[in-house]
Amino acid sequence: MSIDEATSVAEVGHYGEVIPVRGRRRLAEVDDLHVWFNGTEVVKGVSFGVDAGQCLAIVGESGSGKSVTARTLVGLTGDGAQITARTLEFDGRSLLGLRDREWRSIRGRDIGFVLQDALVSLDPLRQVGREISESLSTHQRGPSGRAVRHERADEVVELLELVGVPEPYVRARQRPHELSGGLRQRALIASGLANDPRLLIADEPTTALDATVQAQILDVLNEAKQRGNGLILISHDLAVVGRLADTVAVMRAGEIVEYGDAKQILTAPTHEYTRGLLAAVPSRASKGTLLTNGARLGAPHPAGDAPPAVRVRDVQKAFAGKNSTSKAAVQGVSFDLQAGRTLGIVGESGSGKTTTARMVLGLTAPDSGTVELDGRAWSALTDSERRSRRNGISVIYQDPLSSFDPRWTVEHVIADALRGTGARGSVLDERVGELLDHVGLSDGFRTRHPLKLSGGQRQRVAIARALAPNPSVIVCDEPVSALDVSIQARILDLLATLQAESGVALLFISHDLGVIHHMSDDILVMRGGEVVEYGEADDVFERPRHQYTRELLAAVPRIDVEHD
């Protein structure tokens, strides 16, 4: 589809309403863009346009070429890239053949760029406030072209406040490793917005954020759009796309397979690939079914008279702070998790979700209260006493790569988890094969290293490792938040199927409430280290009693929500 065939949203507005824009001009125009790496074509004839006051969303799976396409607009495809295009322009200026110095004058000032991985993008040796201040000083606008240091410091604090960073004066003096993932991402967004660029490219800007913070960031981006800034949003979260986008480009294998008005594509797509992406989005409607084929799962395993797989009673945990003070991370949390059921834990960063999970895993000792595993004492045991029962509980992390030894093969990773079961020799070898088959990986993956696997493949290896000792409980800590929607769907289906077959109990932590509702039988809502609501999933989602729960649910973007 050519650019002219798509709706010019800068003129007619999203779904028909008029949007006030600065000058209604075309900011970015791309026509017949091709990108090669080492002779391999990864972007194949892509064309699109972005007007002032318009948001174009580019969606697609990993490897579709969406991020490479966006990087060509900021000169970050790398020295090895070969780029051709009939047109590659920003505000009427050709971007083809620019030198590094010319790119530096555009990047950050006229075209902002926000990446997903803040830990890599932020300088680990510098305070985040200095990082943002440098963006301001490098491209400072105004009659003098300069701003005195204290004025920039004030601007830094204002930017951090704008993106929802609490205690901005304190956070500005911290380094990236001292911040949570969500706070790092907000700092990176603040840096991208520092010079109010006319075009902002945001690559998965809200993936690591909780629902309420995500809503705040989306409001910030929407306000920038309403002021007349252009926005290119790259996201696998189609609900976020529905909140911001005026037009959508769906990419697959380097090509745009569907392009046009956001509402039409998100509610009545014409391409089979787009329909598959939408069908894979977890929600209340998908609960009890497999996302990839719609089959309905059996009922959860009945608990009978057996004790809960996990019983937590009034656990509390505080950590030492500065000046010999202590801060309560978890206060009086209690819940039961039955065999064959899934308990979803939700809440913002700092609510105590991860600390609670670590106490369940026996990795953090509670200051008071108890945790029982399979009806027997767990938190009260010493590390050596717990060692013989470690096979009863496993964990799946958000980023399995960081928990794998990069020198090990997939076979070694899984075999290491099996050795605690006493498996040896041919029995061990056979069990590795069974686990790989169980998670949908062929025997050929045995000799591959984690760095050579895709995100979805690594997560399957992590699930195989978690299943290896036949645990009664698996703690899932954001296991799908970094995955594309179709890969996420397959991983969620895999977990649900394995649970239906084995009766394993799942403790599922996620900031994605659609995922939580799809997966969970019961919900625990945490805030400030306390449980504010606890009950069956449908009751909590459909009849929330606590105001905080209502605020969380109200903040969740939905595909069918029109722009404000």
DSSP reduced 3-state for 535: strand
* Token digits of residue 156: 């830094």
d(CA 288, CA 125): 47
Share of the chain above pLDDT 70, in %: 89
For the stretch 376-412, pLDDT in tens is 999 999 999 998 899 999 999 887 888 888 899 999 9
Q: How many helices (H) and strands (E) does the chain have?
A: 21, 21
**What's the rounded mean pLDDT across residues 226-253?**
90
For the stretch 98-139, pLDDT in tens is 999 999 889 888 999 987 666 667 888 889 898 888 877 665
Reported as a pLDDT band with limits 50, 70 and 90, residue 37 is very high
- Whole-number pLDDT of residue 303: 61
Q: In terms of pLDDT, which residue wins out, 505 or 227?
A: 505
Q: Where are the beta strands (DSSP E) in 172-219?
A: 199-203
- Whole-number pLDDT of residue 6: 38
**What's the rounded mean pLDDT across residues 263-280?**
92
- Whether 274 shows a pLDDT value over 90: the answer reads yes
**What's the rounded mean pLDDT across residues 250-269?**
94
Helix axis angle, 485-502 relative to 455-467, nearest 10°? Answer: 10
**What's the rounded mean pLDDT across residues 341-352?**
91
Q: What number of other Cβ atoms are within 10 A of residue 97's Cβ?
A: 8
Bridge partner residues of 313 (DSSP): 370
- Whole-number pLDDT of residue 80: 85
Do the bridges between strand 530-536 and strand 522-527 make them parallel or antiparallel, or are there none, so unpaired?
antiparallel
d(CA 133, CA 131): 5
**492 touches 519 (CB < 8 A):** yes
Q: In terms of pLDDT, which residue wins out, 20 or 470?
A: 470
- Whether 448 shows a pLDDT value over 90: the answer reads yes
Chain center to CA of 148: 37
H helix intervals, 281-362: 353-361
d(CA 209, CA 481): 10
- Whether 372 shows a pLDDT value over 80: the answer reads yes
What does the mean pLDDT of the chain come to? 86
